[in-house]
Chain A
Amino acid sequence: MLKYIFKRILILIPLIFLVSFIVFALMDNAPGDPVRTLVGENMTEEQIEQKREELGFNDPLLVRYGRYMKGIFRGDFGKSIYGNKDVLKEYLFRLPYTVKLALLSIFFTLIISIPTGIIAAVKQNTWIDAIFSAGAIMGLSIPGFWLGLMLVLIFSVKLGWFPVYGADEGLKSYILPAITLGVANASLLTRMTRSSLLDTIRQDYLKTVRAKGLSERKTILNHAFRNALIPIATIAGSQFSGLLSGSIIVENVFSWPGIGTLTVTAIRTHDITLATGCAVLTTMFTAVTLLIVDVLYAFIDPRIKAQYTGK
C-alpha cells in the first residue's frame, strides 16, 4: 500500500512539470505586458526596458521556465508581480477559505444525495423516485451564479439571515456559498447513487443475504450500498477536488477570498508568477485529493486493495 502511494506521488512530478510548462507558456504568449502593467503609464520606454531586464523577462522562455522550476522544488514559488508578495504565502493564506468551504459543501452534498439516492433506488418507479429524480434534474440545470444570487437576494438581503458577501462572519458566511456549490453536486450524486445502487440491488449475492434472514434495511445498507460505493466515491472525490481548486463563479458571486478569486485576479492582471503558482499548487492539491480517494477505494473494495498491495 505504501509502495503504491509512493509511486503515485512520484507520478506527480512529471505532472507538475507538464502543468506548469503549459501554464507558463500560455501566460507568456497571452496578450498584454505584465511589466508595462506593473510600472504604470508614466514610465519611459527605457525605464520599462530596464525593469524588464531586471525581472529577467528578456531571457528565453525555457531559461525563465528552468529558473522558475528550480525555485519550485526549493519551495519558492516566486513573488507576485503585483505587490511583490510571496506566491506560496498568498496561496496558503487563501487556501483555508476554499478548503473549509469545500468541506462544508461536500458534507452538504453527501448528507442530501446519499439518502435521497438510496430511497429513489429502493422505491424505483414510484412517485417518490419520480420526485427525487425531477429534483435532481432541476438541481443540475440551475446555473450556480443564478442560484447564488437568488439565495443572497432572499436570505441575505430580504431576510438578513446571512451576510451578503465575504467570509468574515464565521460559519454564517459559509452556508450560502456551500449550498450554492453543493446543489449541482448533490443532484449529480443523487442520480449516481440511485443508478449505482440499482446495479447492485439486482445482484445474486443479495439473494444469499436475504435468504440468510437479514432484514431488508440491512440488506440494502450493509450489502447493496456497500457495493455501490465505488462509483459514488469516485464522483464525490472528483467533486471534492473540483471544489478545492475553487469555484470561480461562486467565489465571485460571494466575493469569497478563496483560491478561485486569487487565480482569476492573477490571470486578469497578467501576474505570471502568481497565476502559474496558483495553477501548479492547485494541480498538486487536486492530485493529492484524488490519491486519497483512490486509497479510500482500497477500504471499500478488498479486490482493489489486493491490487495495490500486489498480493
Chain B
Amino acid sequence: MEIFKRKKKTVQQPKAFEGEYVLDVEDLKIRYETDDAVVYAVNGIDLKLKRKQTLGLVGETGAGKTSTVLALLKLIPTPPGVVEAKKILVNGKDVMALSDKQLQQIRGNEIAMVFQDPMTSLDPVYTVGEQIAESYMIHDKLSKKEALEEAKKMLEIVGIPAERSGEFPYQFSGGMKQRVVIAIALACRPNILIADEPTTALDVTIQLQVLELMKQLNEKYQTSTIMITHDLGIVAETCDEVAVMYAGQIVEKGTLEDVFENTKHPYTEGLFNSLPNMNDRNSKLNPIKGLIPDPTIVFTGCPFAERCRYAKEKCFKQKPTVKHLSESHQVKCLRYDEADFKIERSLK
C-alpha cells in the first residue's frame, strides 16, 4: 500500500542547481501593444545573477523594473504585453519555452516574488495560514493539514506567532502583512527571490526590520535575490551588485563598489546627486531635470540625452552600446571615456 508508506516530504532543502548563474537573461524586450500606442517598457536587457548574490535593480518609476522581473516569471499579461528575448534562463530552464504547467511548477518553487504593496497583495478572504499553505499544497503536494502546519512554522520564521495563522489579512498591520508575503514567497525555499520594492509602502522603522529579515532568510536558505528599489540606501545595505535602469535599458551595472565609488553614467550620477544632503539641511535638493521619457517613443540616440548635462550632438543621433570597464563594471554611454568627461559626485 503505497499511500500508507508515503514519507512525509521535507521542505527544508533549497532546490538543487549547480550552474554558475541561477538567472541568465539575454536581450529581453517587453512592449505593451494597445489600440492607441505601443509602449516600449523594456528595450534589450541582459541580466545575470550568481548564486547567493543580491542584485539591486534601481531606477525611477516607469523605468521598466517591474516589467523586467514579471517577465522572469512569465507573468506579463499577454495581450497587451509582448515579451521577446534571446533567452530567459531560470535555474537553467528557458522560461520562454516552458508550458503553462511547467511554469506553474517553477513559480513559487524556484523563483518567487514579494510585491510592492503588502496592503493589496494578500487575498482578503483567506487566512494568512491558508495563503502560505497554498504554496506547500501546490509544490510539495502536502495535504491541507500538513501544509497548514508548515505554514505555521514559516510564520514563526518570519517573526509572527504561529497562533495568528488563523487570522485574516485585515487583522495585520502593513509590516506584518509584508512578513506574510515574504513567508509566502520563501515557503518553498526558492533559489531566486524577487523583491519588488518590498519596503516602499512601509514605515521607515518597519522597513529596516523587513530588510533585516529578508537578509537573514536569504543567508539561511542561500537564496539569490533581485531587489527592486529606488532607494540607494537600501541598495548599499543589501546588494552585492547594482543595475541602474533607465527607459527600459540598463545604463550602468557593476558591483556595489563599481557603481557607488566609481560611477560612470551621468544618470547614476544624477541619482546620487538628487539624494538630500543629510549634513547640510539648508542645501538645495538637486533633482535630475526633466521627466522620464515617453515610453511610446523609439529613440534614435541615447534615451537619457535630453536630461543629460554632458550630452553632445552625437548622443542624440547614435545609440550607445554596452562598454565594459572591467569584468564586473559596464556602462551604456557614448562619452564616458572621453577626456573632458568627468562625473561629479557630491560627497555625502
Contact = CB atoms under 8 A, between A and B. Distances in A.
A205 B124 CA distance: 8
A213 B115 contact: no
Contacts of B138: 212-214
A209 B108 CA distance: 9
Contacts, number: 80
Interface string B98-122: 0011011111110011010100111
A33 to B, nearest CB: 58
A214 B134 contact: yes
Interface in A212-261: 212-216, 223, 226-227
Contacts of A302: 124-125, 127, 168, 170
Nearest to A212: B108
Nearest to B180: A208
Q: Is chain A's interface secondary structure helix, strand, loop, or mixed overall?
A: helix
Nearest to A203: B120
A204 interface: yes
Which of A301, A302, A303 has most chain B Cβ within 10 Å? A302
A172 interface: no
B106 A213 contact: yes
Given A207-B115, A213-B139, A303-B170, A227 B123 contact: yes
B73 interface: yes
B104 A205 contact: no
Interface in A265-311: 300-303, 306
A213 B125 contact: no
Q: Chain B interface: which size bin?
A: 20 to 34
B181 interface: yes
A212 B125 contact: no
A214 B100 CA distance: 10
B224 interface: no
B125 A204 contact: no
- Looking at B104, B168, B181, the one whose CB has the most chain A CB atoms below 10 A away is B104
Nearest to B135: A212
A306 B106 CA distance: 37
A10 interface: no
Interface residues of A, number: 21
B184 to A, nearest CB: 6
A111 interface: no
Given A223-B123, A227-B123, A301-B125, A210 B134 contact: no
Interface in B67-111: 73, 75, 100-101, 103-109
A211 interface: yes
A227 B120 contact: no
Contacts of A215: 100-101, 104
A226 B107 CA distance: 22
Contacts of A210: 73, 75, 107
Contacts of A306: 168, 170-171
Interface of B: 73, 75, 100-101, 103-109, 112-113, 115, 117, 120-127, 131, 134-135, 138-139, 168, 170-171, 181, 184-185
20 contacts: A207-B75, A207-B113, A207-B115, A208-B123, A208-B181, A210-B107, A211-B112, A211-B113, A212-B134, A212-B184, A213-B103, A213-B105, A213-B108, A215-B101, A215-B104, A216-B100, A226-B123, A227-B125, A301-B124, A303-B168
Given A204-B121, A306-B170, 8 more contacts: A207-B121, A209-B123, A210-B73, A212-B138, A213-B105, A213-B135, A216-B100, A227-B123
